[in-house]
A and B are shown apart, each in its own frame.
Chain A
Amino acid sequence: MAEAVQKPNPTEEMIATLEMPSAGWSVAARQNALTRLRATGLPQRRDEYWKYTRPDTLIQPVAEPAAVFENDEAQLFDDVDRLKIVFVDGTFDADASDDLALDGITIDRLEQTDADLHWARDLYGTLEQNGQTPVARPLAALNTAFASDGVLIHVTSTPSKPVSIIYRHASTTSDAILHHFVKVDSGAELTLLENGPAAARLNKVMEIDVADDAAFHHVRAQGRDHERRAATHIFARLGARSLFKSFTVTVNGVMTRNDCIIELTGDDASAHVAGACVGDGAFHHDDTVFVTHDAVNCESRQVFKKVLRNGATGVFQGKILVKAGAQKTDGYQISQSLLLDEDSQFLAKPELEIYADDVACSHGSTSGAIDEEALFYLRARGVSKNEATDLLTLSFLAEAVEEIAQESLRDQINGRLASWLGRRSD
């Protein structure tokens, strides 16, 4: 009898290339995550939430190489007074980083495994694990198991300036796995900035625990390297009366999958997640958002805008789940694309699942071209066709950018978007 041919198992092939630290406080959580990863396996095309995005290049054992994008523009957030934490190809760069010390917060690195009684010991991986149901997120489990480094930020009171994580990309073959945990104590507030391409391939998880009356502001700019790939997850848990705001701008990148999983567990909390992306050519960008309302009188907002040209693809999968008892929920979701030509496409799957009877939830999704009436109006006032198109494109993205609370950061993001628009390939 012929022996059955052993089919290659992509999950085991990937695991075989990775190394888990053998000691330290995080080992138990990592082992747990590995068990969970083996149970679900890595994402496959047939998985419901991977229909529009091919997982192939994100799960293959060796990352596709990605050229480093050279440009002489000023880096985003350069003129913001901030505490800098720099990773190059996923490796912490102490020389380029500031001292990891700031009044009101403690910052440790995940890689430092010696401090056994670390505050993160009981938290690391817990929000990620919680976010695996009802939809499995195997790349996040893989991350928890094998993350090489990351920062653990404990916010006890409001620091004087934002924390800024900068991801540099230097090696064309780098494959980074980073895992951050942010714990914001009751009444405290943190602004976290992230920018840069990070690596040829990045797998990043950020868990954020926002306590009662706390606030977390997140502004992220994903790197402009055309060939880079990224799969990122945000897992956030919100206490009573807390505020969570996360905004992401994505400019370029051949493959980006951003999952954002938010659970509102305390009454009167607010979660706002927004994204503005502009893609050109071989650009695939997927925002997958899952907001769970599990408390009374909470508000959530998802605002995603994508500008696509020259055959770029945008995906939005957004869900609002209102659990039984989560009365007075106010949920809003909008995803829109501006298609600058007929080769580009936008795929959207908005979902509402509601088990409470006193809620207000709305969702909408549109795809459209530049408004010709508005274009003519601007041109009739003397504005050139290109400039008018750019102005209307920025105006299309504005609703998402407006989600950033701080005006100075909004201006920086708008500047970045305008500069992308100015770089016309045609």
Chain B
Amino acid sequence: MLSIKNLHVKLEDEDKQILKGVNLEVEAGKVHAIMGPNGSGKSTLSYVLSGKGGYEVTDGTAKLEGVDLLDMEPEERAAAGLFLAFQYPVEIPGVGNMTFLRTAVNAQRKARGEEEMSASEFLKVVRAKAKDLQIDAEMLKRPVNMGFSGGEKKRNEILQMAMLEPKMCILDETDSGLDVDAMKLVADGVNALRSEGRGFLVITHYQRLLDHIKPDVVHIMSDGRIIKSGGPELALDVEHNGYADIKAEVA
């Protein structure tokens, strides 16, 4: 599904290398988790994959179902099936959440040569999916993420994911700023989307999110590289012993 090979990335405006040769294969139907200390390059990886400006790829490739992602505009990557759940969802005053969702759904459909969703069909679908995430009509009406609590913002991300039905979902520290109940709600939303045709890359600091979204593979990232990969037990290992031991062991 997602194939990253030898990815090197530096900041565009600074001579600072962030990713120093990332290799990663996420298969359809699988959940991969990336853990790592602050500054290891986890979020950069998610931004580079989704096409945010400010980064320069100096080497390597990233492909989604064999198609080169790095040459595409962000909107083309989205239409190709890539989705990033933001660590800090952006507030957009003046744009209704519903308008935003519908614009996004139809823009992607159009880009894929599919028919746009009618207003009534859209409303039906969005209401059903919002209900599962305990997003009420008021939240749908409000401007995008405006006045939303941390948990509401993250639920709104998952609602977008559910509406857009991407092939490859990247969750960037979706657990940050969530209490236990909110995390469970978000995790349930993600788990409901797990399917054979869909890959997940879950980026997190902490093991606790992975109690709820059970990963198939766990990677440890440090200093711009994946230094260790393993099963779910690797996350528990980090939780108990921290990153220092693993770093020492690899070095």
* A385 and B73 form a contact (CB under 8 A): yes
Smallest CB-CB separation from B88: which chain A residue? Answer: A373
Known A-B contacts A377-B89, A383-B75; the reply to A372 vs B53 at CB < 8 A is: yes
B248 within 8 A of A: no
Closest to B95 in A: A395
Distance in Å: Cβ of A285 to nearest Cβ of chain B: 21
Is there a chain B Cβ closer than 8 Å to A357's Cβ?
A: no
User: Are A379 and B53 also in contact (CB < 8 A) when A373-B90, A387-B107, A391-B103 are?
Assistant: no
Interface presence of A384 (CB below 8 A): yes
A380 / chain B contacts, CB cutoff of 8 Å: 50-52, 74-75, 77-78, 84, 86
In the complex, what's the smallest C-beta–C-beta distance from A354 to chain B, in angstroms? 29
B95–A391 CB distance below 8 A: yes
Contact (Cβ within 8 A) A384 B94: no
Contact A381 B93 (CB under 8 A): no
Within 8 A of A (CB), among B43-93: 50-53, 73-75, 77-79, 84, 86, 89-93
Question: A396-B94, A399-B94 given as contacts; is B103 within 8 A of A383 (CB)?
Answer: yes
A240 to chain B, nearest CB (A): 34
**Contact flag A384-B75 (CB < 8 Å), given A372-B53, A391-B95:** yes
- Tell yes or no: A374 within 8 A of B by CB: yes
Q: Give the dominant DSSP class at A's interface.
A: helix
- Which residues of B lie under 8 Å from residue A371 when comparing CB positions? 90
Known interface pairs A382-B79, A382-B104; A374-B92 also in contact (CB < 8 Å): yes
Contact in complex: A387, B103 (CB < 8 Å): yes
How many A residues touch the partner, as a band? 20 to 34
Q: How large is the interface on B (under 10, 10 to 19, 20 to 34, 35 or more residues)?
A: 20 to 34
Task: Give A371 to B100 CA distance when docked, in angstroms.
Answer: 16
CB of A154, distance to nearest CB on chain B (Å): 38
Q: Which residues from B are CB-within-8-Å of A399? A: 93-94
B73 touches A376 (CB 8 A): no
Q: Which of A378, A379, A398 contacts B94 (CB 8 A)?
A: A398
- Decide yes or no whether B111 CB sits under 8 A from chain A: yes
- For A381, the closest partner residue in chain B by CB is B104
Q: How far is the CA of A389 from the CA of B51 in the complex (A)?
A: 17
Per-residue interface assignment for chain A, residues 356 to 398, with 1 indicating a CB less than 8 Å from any chain B CB and 0 otherwise: 0000000000000001111011111111110110011011111
Given A374-B90, A380-B74, A382-B75, also A395-B103 (CB < 8 A): no
Q: Are B75 and A377 in contact (CB under 8 A)?
A: no
30 contacts between A and B (CB under 8 A): A373-B90, A374-B90, A374-B91, A376-B51, A377-B86, A377-B92, A378-B104, A379-B51, A379-B73, A379-B75, A380-B50, A380-B74, A380-B77, A380-B84, A380-B86, A381-B78, A381-B100, A381-B160, A382-B111, A382-B164, A383-B103, A385-B75, A387-B103, A388-B75, A391-B99, A392-B95, A395-B94, A395-B95, A398-B93, A399-B94
